Structure 1
């Protein structure tokens, strides 16, 4: 195994490593709590402290996502990989996969925010038609940059210079890529022909489907399971993870909270009224504007221009200097 690519950390050690850089798990939990506070005002407003179980869930989810990126984006340098990336999470119950989906959404949002200025304005990136709006596995470049992991996204967030951000984004063009989004939405083959809705499964049926794992032995709280069951109750097994219309729930980290917290703040009612879309999806309103910018920036690039483009403003475009006699 490529040690520099895939260091072996425990979930808590990995979380501590990440927290020293961007406190990723803390950002995730705080942003989710802020949204829940806005949903119901003073009932959930104010500061909060994660329980030990909630802390472990956030740490573990970021650890698993980072491990996945490290392992599979390096698979060409690892020689033989003992299992396919789509089966890496096959032993996890769907509510824990939803935790990973929540992390994926969060990292994608941070990537989108920190790269937007460059991707929406740089002439070269406009010529390349790099999509800065589309979410999920239909956006090749975004999945490429996500594949570089938490540290890469942190560096992008930390860069204040436009040129430094662009250089960092371009540095990944030759890097390995793996699609976490696709891996999470790909159901096991055994689920494809099962059209029985979750609501028809008794507790003992679900216990048989998803026998306790080592992680569940350490985290027996029913909060994540109950929140997941409410969200997917009318759906069959093939759709039990990462639904598009559950973006709003994942944005609120709905499968991370303890049952006690869920009951105390009546979160199930909050979840019922959660918007289906997310901050990421609202950017789809600007799709036509993005396509127009591709055309304008491509025209400039074809004429030899580069640099920063804005609509109706070419003051920051850099043109080649032609010396006399050339």
Structure 2
């Protein structure tokens, strides 16, 4: 310690600034009086330097607002109203690093670890699946990840920032829900519905992605736990499940813990409330799924157009239910160059997508089901009574943009029988 005491204060401050994270900085500052005295003089400057290695300036405004949301007092509608009007109304993006106190940095870094985990996990999982990776077998409809990790593309810095900002926004939504009754949350709902459309898109995608990320752990308890079997707890099937919304509303810290569980006991500790009837899991209402469904008609809700990346014409094409599959691969988080490489933004790609959907709809109306490809319709499963008729009918396949357009023009909507007049 004597050697540390003999170092110039500037050297001690520089050593402190080399700490890998805020918890390490705190430990080092408290390790001896020499480091503590050096830290007290430049607390904010040193802490800000350490935080700059984790939270990028383009994301720090979101991190600060999420931190403020986590500190809202429970069941205080006035505090919620002030938070909405003061914190959430601040729309300017901070381009230069803010000064962090150690207390704020410790809390913000804890949340950042969850944000960073999910931004990396979700982006890399999606990049290992279709449409970014093509399954080895056409017979395999699963979305299993590619095993060769080294061959997978990696998310760009801009893409990771989109994930991080949307995850902070998710946390901003979940904190007031956990802490406040929201019976009179008009200011909150008004703020939510005024979010930019691309942020609503990102929340819609996250609602889907996070549900499917944690559902296996929840469903494991549903299938194995004695009490939940007696209660008749339902499986989480998709993001519309009230039980899924209840789990999501607990925030990223809980979701991170659930995602890392591997055993029944670990999942029981996090998700199980008890074995009495009053401990039965209950669903949540008024959280993300309901908020997205209640957005005005001028916003997409869960229809997912690529407004930030596409022309208005193409956005109108995508603003339809048939393109909800885009949500499964988180299209709104990716760079334009990556989407263009997939053909997702080209007119050719849009026409083919529409034609493929129309062709599958025609097959379904004729009784077909199963696996289909534009280049191979032999694996479509037909009912026995349809097989002979199907053999006689040539299946049409569009192999070009013009062919797809001609095919769409040739589709006919079945006539609907006229409704008989009342009393006839």
Tell me whether the two structures share a fold, i.e. TM-score over 0.5.
yes
**Matches of 2:284 and 2:235 in 1, distance apart?**
20
Aligned residue for 2:71? 3
Partner SS state of residue 152, structure 2: coil
Aligned residue for 1:83? 187
Following superposition of structure 1 onto structure 2, how do residues 189-204 of structure 1 map, counting pairs within 5 Å? none
Q: Residues 245-295 of structure 1: CA distance to partner in whole angstroms, max 9, x if unpaired?
A: 54531121111122222223433477865999xxxxxxxxxxxxxxxxxxx
Aligned residue for 1:255? 332
Distance 1:246 1:133, change over 3 A: farther
The answer to whether the aligner puts 1:48 opposite 2:156 as a matched pair is no
Distance 1:120 1:181, change over 3 A: same
Distance 1:256 1:40, change over 3 A: farther
Q: Residues 288-325 of structure 1: CA distance to partner in whole angstroms, max 9, x if unpaired?
A: xxxxxxxxxxxxxxxxxxxxxxxxxxxxxxxxxxxxxx
Following superposition of structure 1 onto structure 2, how do residues 118-133 of structure 1 map, counting pairs within 5 Å? 118-133=221-236
**Matches of 2:299 and 2:335 in 1, distance apart?**
28
**Matches of 2:234 and 2:313 in 1, distance apart?**
34
Q: Residues 117-176 of structure 1: CA distance to partner in whole angstroms, max 9, x if unpaired?
A: 111222211222211143233x22221111101111111122333133123212495898
**Matches of 1:227 and 1:26 in 2, distance apart?**
29
Unaligned runs of 5+ in 2: 1-68, 75-82, 98-104, 137-145, 274-278, 358-424
**Matches of 2:313 and 2:203 in 1, distance apart?**
16
TM-score normalised by length of structure 1: 0.58
Distance 1:72 1:228, change over 3 A: farther
Q: Which has the larger radius of gyration?
A: 2
Say if 1:223 and 1:260, in contact at 8 Å, map to a contact too: no
Following superposition of structure 1 onto structure 2, how do residues 1-326 of structure 1 map, counting pairs within 5 Å? 3=71, 17=110, 20-21=113-114, 23-35=117-129, 36-39=131-134, 46-76=151-181, 83-85=187-189, 87-137=190-240, 139-171=241-273, 173=281, 178-188=286-296, 224-226=308-310, 230=314, 232-233=316-317, 235=319, 243=321, 246-268=323-345
**Matches of 2:268 and 2:315 in 1, distance apart?**
39
How far does residue 107 in structure 1 lie from its aligned partner after superposition?
0.9
Unaligned runs of 5+ in 1: 193-197, 200-221, 277-326
Distance 1:174 1:19, change over 3 A: same
Distance 1:53 1:227, change over 3 A: farther
TM-score normalised by length of structure 2: 0.46
**Matches of 1:157 and 1:5 in 2, distance apart?**
28
Distance 1:181 1:228, change over 3 A: farther
Say if 1:114 and 1:156, in contact at 8 Å, map to a contact too: yes
Aligned residue for 1:318? none
Q: Residues 78-122 of structure 1: CA distance to partner in whole angstroms, max 9, x if unpaired?
A: 99756134x343222323211111111111011212222111222
Higher-RCO chain (CA-CA 8 Å, sequence separation at least 6): 1
Alignment coverage as a number of residue pairs:
237
How far does residue 64 in structure 1 lie from its aligned partner after superposition?
0.5
Distance 1:109 1:232, change over 3 A: farther
Say if 2:244 and 2:283, in contact at 8 Å, map to a contact too: no
Q: Residues 154-199 of structure 1: CA distance to partner in whole angstroms, max 9, x if unpaired?
A: 111223331331232124958986420111122316679xxxxx99
Say if 2:246 and 2:282, in contact at 8 Å, map to a contact too: no
Distance 1:118 1:234, change over 3 A: closer
Q: Residues 213-245 of structure 1: CA distance to partner in whole angstroms, max 9, x if unpaired?
A: xxxxxxxxx88431997465265xxx7xxx5x5
Partner SS state of residue 134, structure 1: coil
**Matches of 2:174 and 2:242 in 1, distance apart?**
15
Aligned residue for 1:290? none
